[in-house]
Chain A
Amino acid sequence: MRKIKYIVVALLIGFIQTGLGQQTPASAQTETISITGATAHIGDGTKIDNCTLIFTNGKITALGAGIAPQGKVINASGKHLYPGFIAPGKSLGLIEVNAVRASNDQDEIGAMIPHIRSLIAYNAESKVVESMRPNGVLLGQVTPKGGRISGTSSIVQFDAWNWEDAAVKVDDGIHLNWPSTFRRGRWWMGEPRGYQPNKDYSEQVEEILSFLRNANAYGKGKTTSVNPAFEASRGIFTGSQRLFVYAQDEKQIIDAITALKEAGVQNLVLVGGYHAHRITDFLKKHDIPVLVNYTHTLPDFADDDYDFTYKLPKLLVDGGLLVGLQNADASNFQTRNLPFYAGQVVGQGLEKEKALQLISGNTAKILGIDDLYGTLAVGKSATLFVSEGDALDMRGNQLSNAFIDGRELSLETHQTELWKRYMGKYSQN
C-alpha cells in the first residue's frame, strides 16, 4: 500500500516536472460554484461574516449571509474571501530576467512615445507573473517604462494563453514621468553635492505641454497624414484613457496637475505622491486619485520619520483621497508582496477593510475597471480567492482556491514545483 503511494507521488512529480512554461490556463467555468461560510472582504471597506458567494459563467450571482448554496460547494468556514488584488504600474510580462537583455521589453527608446503599446509584448507565459497568483495578485496594469511619456499600458488578468486572452482593458492609459524639480549636484562636473534646482525644469515642462497641445489640436482636426504619437494620445483628451503622471514632490504635483488640466487632459491619476499628504486639499479639489508609493521602501530623505513610507497611504486616505498602492519602482517579482504593503498600513492604524481597498476596490476605480473587478458584488467578475487567514498578513496569506472570471486557476508555480520535486528527493532517502 505504502509502495503504491510512493509510485503515485513519483508519477505526479514526473508530470509536474514536464511543465516548463506557466501553469496551464484554466478552462472556462462550466458549473455554478458556491463558496460558503467565509468571511467575505468585499473590497469596498465592508465585510460579511459567514458569507455565501455564488458565481456562474464567471459572474457573481449571489452574495450574502444565509444564502442557500448552489452547484459545487467549497466549504470555506473559518477562511477568508477576497477580490483578486490588482497591481498597477508594473512591467510584469515585459521583462523576464533582468540580467538577460534579450528578455527585456519594458523600455523603448524615445522621449514622447505614447504609441508604444505594452499589451502586444505581454508574455502570458512569464514565470514571474505566475508567481503573483499564490499571494492573491490576479490582475495587473502592464506598463512601459522610461522616457518622458513611456507609452500606453493595458490591464491584464494573470491566467491566459496569450495577450489577447489576458487583456481586461486594452490601452487603458498613458504614462508620463514629470520632470524633477530638484536633482543632486553632479559633483564630478564641479557642481555642489547637495540637491540643486533642476535648471532645465521649465524647459522640460514646456516640452511636455507643447507635445500635449499639439496632440490635442491634432485630435480636433482632420488630417491626411497620421502622426502616431498624437494619434495614440486622443483618448486622454476625450476621457477614454487616463493619464498617469508620476510625480513626487509638492511643486511637481501642483505643476503637473494644473498644467495637465489646462492642457485638456480629462482623467488624471497621480502616481507616487511622496509629498502628496501636504496638499490633500488641492488634490481633492481637482478630484485626483493617487496611486501612492508602496510601504516597504526607505524614506527619500535622511530627516524623514523612519516610518514615513509606512504612514503615507493612511495620511492620504485620512485626507479624503481615493488611494491605491503601487510599487512601480520595485522589481517586478516584488509585486507578489502587494498584500503585505497594504497590511503594513493596517499597522499604522488604518482599518483592515480600508487597507484592503488600497489594492482592490480603490485600484479598480482608479484604473477604470470597477465595473467588473476590485470588489465582490453581484454582477461583477468572479475574480477572487479564498485564503486560510488574513491575506494582508504573511502568516494568513495561504490561498486554497483562486478564480479569475470564474475559472479556477492553478496555484502552482515554478517554485512550488521545485519544492515538491526536492521534497520527493528527500523522502526517497
Chain B
Amino acid sequence: MNWRLLVLAAFWLCTTPLFSQDYFPENDGVKAKNNNYTALINAKIYVTPTQIIEKGTLLIKDGKVAAVGTAVNIPQNTVQVDLKGKNIYPSFIDVYSTFGVEQPKRPSRGRRSPQYDPTREGFYWNDHIMAEANAITKFKYDDKSAKALREAGFGVVNSHIQDGIARGTGVLIALKSEGNDAERILDDNSSQYFSFDKSVIKSQSYPTSLMGSMALLRQMYHDASWYQKGNIDTKDRSLEALLANSGLVQIFAAGNAGNVLRADKIGDTFGMQYAILGGGNEFEIINEIKATNAKLIIPINFPDAMDVSDPYQADYVTLKDMRFWNQAPSNPKVLADNDISFSFTLHELKSPATLKEKVMKAIEYGLSESKALEALTSRPASLLGKANSIGSLQTGRYANFLITSGNIFDKETTLYENWVQGEKNIVNAMDQKDIRGTYNLSVGGNMYALAITGEPSKPKAEVKLDTVKLTSTFKYDSDWITLSFNTAEAETYRMTAKVTSGEDNLKGRLLLPDGGDGSFTASRTEGPSDKSKDEKDTAAEAPNVMPVTFPNVGYGYPQKQVAQDMLFKNATVWTGEATGVLENTDVLVKSGKISKIGKDLNAGNAKVIDATGKHLTAGIIDEHSHIAGLAINEAGQNSSAEVKMTDVVDSEDIDLYRNLAGGVTTVQLLHGSANPIGGRSAILRLKWGEPAEKLIFENSPKFIKFALGENVKQSNWESYSRFPQTRMGVEQVFVNYFQRAKEYEALKKSGKAYRYDEEMEVLVEILNGERYISCHSYVQSEINMLMKVADKFDFKVNTFTHILEGYKVYGQSGCYRSYQ
C-alpha cells in the first residue's frame, strides 16, 4: 500500500467507521477504532417531512444520528462540515425493489403440452406457491445499480424475488458502497410477498386465471391452518415457511386498482391486512381503495403522451387511455387528499434517474411536497415496521440522508451527496462553482463567443465565431474545465483551466493547432441568464386534469347515476305477466321498484317521461353471458368449483354499455367451458358506472357452470394430457367429485376435524340443492349422462345451455328444470 492509498484510506476512515465488526480478528495491521463524530452544521434539516430545522446541526457517529437540532452539543473530536444554504433530507426507501436479487427469466421454449402436476417434492402441491423462497439466497450486492439508486436519492431498498404467487421473503438492504453485507443487510427476512401472477419459470397450468390465483391463495391459507394444527403427516416446506413468516409485514403485488381490492378481500377473509402494490389508477375508485385501509405502494410511471399527430393513428387510441394519460399524474394527490398512506416505488420506472421528474410532475398535479417526501421516506419506513431505524433523521436512526443545494423537488436543485450509514457518497461536487455565463474567448488572434449553459453541475458549452457555431467538446469536473473546438478551417484548439472561487474569468493552458503552447483567457461578460425562471413562470399554470367519469372510459357518466322516481306516460307496456301487453299505459317507478301500472297515474314528485308511441318492457335477462369478466376460464384443472366469477367482474367493460343499449339489464356471467366442473357464476345488474361489487346481485340464487361437449375433453387443441379426453372420462369426473363431496360432507357433519376445501364446499351445495348447475351441452348421450349422475346423487340439473340436441332428450327423465 503506497502513501496515496493510505491517505485515501484515512479519508474514508473519517467518515466511515467500521462499526459492526469489533469481534473480527485483524491481521493486516493493528486494530484502530474511529470514535470521532461528524457534524453537519448550518443546514436546513428535514428530520421528518414535517419536522424541519433551520440552521440545524446533524451530529453523526458510528453510522447513526447522534443528535439533531439547533443547539446540539458538538464534542471535541468532531469533524465539522458547514452546509450553509444547503438542505438535508432523510434518504429515500423503496419497498418494492429487485435490487441485488437475481430475478428469474422466462425461458424461451417451444409449445408443448401443458403440465398439470407439480415438479417439486416436499413443497406445496402448486409450484407457484413458493413461500419458502428467500431473497437473501439470491442476493449479491451490485454497486453499479446501487450507485444509480443513490444518485436518485435512495438509501435503503427492500428487495424480493418478483416471481410466483407466494414469493417468499424480502431482504432490506442499505445501499452502502464501502463495507460489506454485514453492514448492508438490515433484515434478511423483512417481509413476505404475494401476487396474482404465476412463476415465469414454473410450467404447472393451474391457475390459468386471475380468479384461479385468488382461489389458490385462499386454499393455501386454509391448508396452512390445517398443517399448523398438525393434521398433515408429510413435509410441506412452502406451508411451513408461510406460517413461519406470517408475523412479518405481508406485501401483495396487486398491480392495479381493481386488484388492490381483490388482494384486500383475500386478506379480509383470513384476518390479515396486506400492504398492497397498486397500479397508479387508484384515483378511479378512490372510495373503495380507501375502504381497504391498506397501506399502498404506488408506482409513478405516469404514461407518456400518445402519438396522435397522425390522425389515422389517433383512431387507434382509446379515450380510456387518453384519460389515463391525463389523470394519472394526479393519482398521488388524490391518495393524499383521501388520507391514504402510500409509498412511492421505482417499480415500472425505466430508470431511477426519472424518479425526480415523475415526483415533480405529481407535485405539479397538486401533491404537497411534504406528502411527496413522506411517500419516499417515512411512509415506506413505517410500512416495513422500521420507522425506528430508517426513514427519518431522529436520534438513533441510521445516518441515511441527502444533501442538496435547496428544495429537493425543485428542478434547479442539485443533489450533492447521499450518505448511507454515515458513509458519504458524492453525487455532484458540492463546492463546484457555477461558471455558467457568456465569455469572450481570445484564441489564435480571434475573438470567439463562449456560452456556458445548462445545469450548474454539468454545464454545456457553445463556441461561436460571429454567428457561426463551431464544433466543440466541453467538460467541467473537479474544478477543471477542458474545452476544444474546431475552426472553420478545421484547426483544433485545445485548452484547460482550473476554476477558482475568486475569479470570474477562465485562464489556463492552450494547445495550438500546430502543437505549440500558449495560454488563453475567457473573460466573462455576463452571468447565468434568468431564462429558466421565465420558463418556470409560464409552466406554473395548473395542469388541466379532466374529471373522472363513471366508469372512467368512453361513454362513462360525468356523475354517478342515482335512482330516481319516474313516471313513464302512455306507453305500450309488455308486462310479461298474465295481463299481457297493455296499450296507452303508465308505469310509476318508486325507489327502484315498479309501484303502479295503470292509466293516468299521478306523477307526484316523480320525473315524467312521455313514452307515447314507445314500448316499455322489463329489462332483458341473459342467462348465458361472458361480458364484464377479466377472466372466463380457469382451465388449469378439470374441476374449478373453487373459483368465483364474482372475483373478476370488470365494471369498465364497454360491452356492459352495449348490452344496455340493446335492452339487456341483467346477465349471468358464466365461467367458460374449459372443464367439466367450471366456476361459480356472477349474476350482474348492468349498472354502468358502478364498481364491480355493486353490479353483483346480493342474495341471488347460487349458480355454477358445468360443461359437456368437446372443450372439456380439450379436443380442439393440442392437449392430450389432462383427464378426461373422452365423454367416458367426463362421467367419471362428475361421479368422482360428487362422491368425494358426499364423503366430505359426511366427515364435516360427523364433528371430526376436516380440511376445509373450498371446492368441496361448493359441490356440497349442489348436492344439497343450494347451488344450481348451468351446463354447457351438445349431444344427447352426454346430456342424459349428466341427468343420470344427478339422479344418482339425488339433485337436479337446473339448466342445460346450448343444448343443441335438446329436442332429442325431451321427456327423457324429467330431472331437469329448464333448457336454454
Using a CB–CB distance below 8 Å, which chain A residues touch chain B?
A: 99, 181-182, 194-195, 197, 249-251, 275, 298, 301-303, 306-307, 418-419, 422, 426, 429
Report chain B residues within 8 Å CB of A419: 807
- Give the residues in chain B near A418, CB-CB below 8 Å: 807
Selected from A194, A275, A301, A307, the residue in CB contact (under 8 A) with B306 is A194
Q: Verify B807–A249 contact, CB threshold 8 A.
A: no
Check B765 for interface membership: any CB of A closer than 8 A. Answer: no
How long is the Cα–Cα vector from A275 to B316 in the complex, in angstroms? 12
B181 interfacial contact with A, CB 8 Å: no
Contact between A306 and B661, CB atoms less than 8 A apart: yes
Cα distance A419–B310 when bound, in Å? 56
Alpha-carbon distance A226/B693, docked complex (angstroms): 67
Question: Roughly how many angstroms separate A301 CA and B320 CA in the complex, as a whole number?
Answer: 11
A257 CA / B554 CA spacing, docked (Å): 33
Q: Judge whether B31 is part of the interface by a CB distance below 8 angstroms.
A: no
Instruction: State in angstroms the CA–CA spacing of A82 and B320 once bound together.
Output: 46
Task: Find chain A residues with CB under 8 A from B715 CB.
Answer: 99
Q: Let me know if B716 is at the binding interface, CB within 8 A.
A: yes
A99, A302, A306 pick with most chain B CB within 10 angstroms: A302
13 pairs across A/B with beta carbons < 8 Å? A99-B716, A181-B312, A194-B317, A250-B315, A275-B315, A302-B554, A303-B554, A303-B555, A306-B657, A419-B807, A422-B807, A422-B808, A426-B810
A389 to chain B, nearest CB (A): 20
B632 to A: closest C-beta gap in Å: 16
Report whether A301 and B318 are in contact in the complex, using a CB–CB cutoff of 8 Å. Answer: yes
Enumerate the 3 nearest inter-chain pairs by beta-carbon distance, A residue then B residue, closest first: A195-B316, A303-B554, A306-B661
Q: How far is the CB of A252 from chain B (nearest CB, A)?
A: 9
Q: Is B654 an interface residue (CB 8 A)?
A: yes
A307, B662: Cα distance in complex, Å: 9
A298 touches B321 (CB 8 A): no
Residues A195 and B807 in contact in the complex (CB < 8 Å), given A99-B715, A298-B658: no
Chain B residues with Cβ under 8 A from A195's Cβ? Answer: 313, 316-317
Closest to B554 in A: A303
| B residues 628-680 in Cβ contact with A at 8 Å | 654-655, 657-658, 661-662
B553 at the interface (CB under 8 A from A): yes
Q: A99-B716, A302-B554 are in contact. Are A194 and B319 (CB under 8 A)?
A: no
A residues in contact with B658, CB < 8 Å: 298, 306
Residues of B within 8 A of A250 (CB): 312, 315
A56, chain B: closest CB distance, angstroms: 41
A99 touches B710 (CB 8 A): yes
In the assembled complex, the Cα of A251 lies from the Cα of B315 at a distance in Å of: 11
Report the minimum CB–CB distance from A14 to chain B (whole Å). 18
Interface residues in B, total, Cβ within 8 A: 27
Chain B neighbourhood of A298, CB < 8 A: 655, 658
Chain A residue with the shortest CB-CB distance to B553: A302
Contact partners of A306 in chain B: CB under 8 A:
657-658, 661-662
- Given A99, A182, A303, A422, which contacts B319 in the complex, CB threshold below 8 Å? A303
Q: Distance in Å from the Cβ of B557 to the closest Cβ of chain A?
A: 15
A197-B313, A250-B312, A306-B657 are known contacts; what are 9 more A-B pairs with Cβ within 8 Å?
Answer: A182-B312, A194-B316, A251-B312, A302-B318, A302-B554, A302-B654, A303-B318, A422-B807, A422-B810
CB of A429 within 8 A of CB of B315, answer no
Distance of A206 Cα from B813 Cα, bound (Å): 65
Which residues of B line the A interface, CB within 8 A? 306, 310, 312-313, 315-321, 553-555, 654-655, 657-658, 661-662, 710, 715-716, 807-808, 810-811
Q: Which residues on A sit within 8 Å (CB–CB) of B807?
A: 418-419, 422
Min distance, Cβ A187 to any Cβ of chain B, angstroms: 13
Bound together, the chains give a CA A249 to CA B461 distance in angstroms of 49
Q: In whole angstroms, how far apart are the Cα atoms of A426 and B807 in the complex?
A: 10
Provide the residues of chain A in CB contact with B810, threshold 8 Å: 422, 426
Interchain CB contact under 8 A, A301 and B808: no
Report how far A99 CA is from B713 CA in the complex, Å: 13
Known contacts A99-B715, A422-B807, A429-B811: A302-B316 contact under CB 8 Å: no
Inter-chain CA distance A302–B318, complex, in Å, is 7
Most chain B CB atoms below 10 A, which of A249, A251, A275, A303: A303
Query: Is the Cβ of B317 less than 8 Å from the Cβ of A302?
Result: no
Check A182–B316 contact: CB distance below 8 A.
yes
Q: Which residue of A182, A422, A426 contacts B313 across the interface (Cβ within 8 Å)? A: A182
| A261 CB to nearest B CB, Å | 20
Q: How long is the Cα–Cα vector from A303 to B556 in the complex, in angstroms?
A: 11
B445 to chain A, nearest CB (A): 53
Complex CA gap A288/B234 in Å reads: 74
Residues of A with C-beta under 8 A to B321: 194
Write the nearest CB–CB distance from A282 to chain B, whole angstroms. 14
Which of the residues A181, A303, A426 comes within 8 Å of B811, measured between beta carbons? A426
Which residues of A are found within 8 Å of B710, using beta-carbon distances? Answer: 99
Centre residue among B315, B321, B808, B810 by max chain A CB count within 10 A: B315
B661 touches A307 (CB 8 A): yes
Complex CA gap A250/B655 in Å reads 25
The distance in angstroms between the C-alpha atoms of A302 and B661, with both chains bound, is 14
Residues of A contacting B312 with CB < 8 Å?
Answer: 181-182, 249-251
**Whole-angstrom distance between the alpha carbons of A306 and B553 in the complex?**
14
Do B315 and A249 have beta carbons less than 8 Å apart?
yes
B227 to chain A, nearest CB (A): 36
Provide the bound-state CA to CA distance between A250 and B553, in Å: 25
Report the bound CA distance from A306 to B662 in whole Å.
9
B316 to chain A: which residues have CB within 8 Å? 182, 194-195, 301
Bound form: Cα–Cα A429–B811 in Å: 10
Chain B residue contacts of A303, Cβ below 8 A: 318-319, 554-555
In the complex, A426 Cα to B810 Cα: how many Å?
Answer: 9
B811 A302 Cβ-Cβ under 8 A: no
Cα distance A99–B657 in the bound complex, in angstroms: 33
CA distance A298 to B654 in the complex (A): 11
Contacts of A426 in B (CB 8 A): 810-811
Smallest Cβ-Cβ distance to B303: which chain A residue: A192
**B-side contacts of A429, CB under 8 Å:** 811
CB distance from A414 to the nearest CB of B (A): 12
Closest Cβ–Cβ distance, residue B520 to chain A (whole Å): 49
Smallest Cβ distance from B541 to chain A, in angstroms?
Answer: 28
CB distance from B806 to the nearest CB of A (A): 10
Residue of A nearest to B304 (CB): A192
Of the candidates B657, B662, B807, B810, the one having the most CB atoms from chain A within 10 angstroms of its own CB is: B807
Roughly how many angstroms separate A419 CA and B805 CA in the complex, as a whole number?
A: 10
Minimum distance in angstroms from B197 CB to a CB of chain A: 13
For B553, list chain A residues within 8 Å (CB). Answer: 302
Closest A residue by C-beta to B306: A194
